[in-house]
Amino acid sequence: MTEIKGIIPPILTPMNEDESINIEELKNQVNRQIEAGVHGLFPFGTNGEGYILDAEEKELVLKTVVEETDGRVPVYAGTGCISTKETIRQSLMAKSVGADILSVITPSFAAASQEELYVHYKTVAEAVDLPIVLYNIPARTGNKLAPETVARLSKIPNIVGVKDSSGDFDNMLKYLELTKGEDFIVLSGNDSLILPCLKSGGVGGIAGCANVYPKVMVSIYEKYMAGDLEGAEKVQESIASFRACFKYGNPNTIVKTAVSMLGYPVGKCRAPFNQVPEEGIEALKRVLEENKEKGMC
Catalytic: 121?
no
Count helices and strands (H / E) in the chain.
13, 7
Rounded Cα distance between 163 and 153, Å, is 13
Report the Cα 169 to chain-centroid distance in Å: 17
- From the candidates 76, 118, 121, 135, give the one annotated as an active-site residue: 135
DSSP state of 214: H
Rounded Cα distance between 232 and 235, Å, is 5
Measured between alpha carbons, how far is residue 91 from residues 62, 87, 202 in Å? 12, 6, 25
Query: What dihedral angle (degrees, nearest 10) is formed by the CA atoms of 243, 245, 251, 252?
Result: -90
162 contacts: CB under 8 Å, gap ≥ 6: 133, 134, 135, 136, 145, 150, 175, 179, 184, 185, 186, 187
- From the candidates 76, 121, 144, 163, give the one annotated as an active-site residue: 163
Nearest alpha-carbon partner for 10 in 137, 123, 171, 108: 137
Rounded Cα distance between 122 and 156, Å, is 7
Catalytic: 163?
yes
280 contacts: CB under 8 Å, gap ≥ 6: 245, 248, 249, 254, 257
Which residues form the catalytic set?
Answer: 135, 163
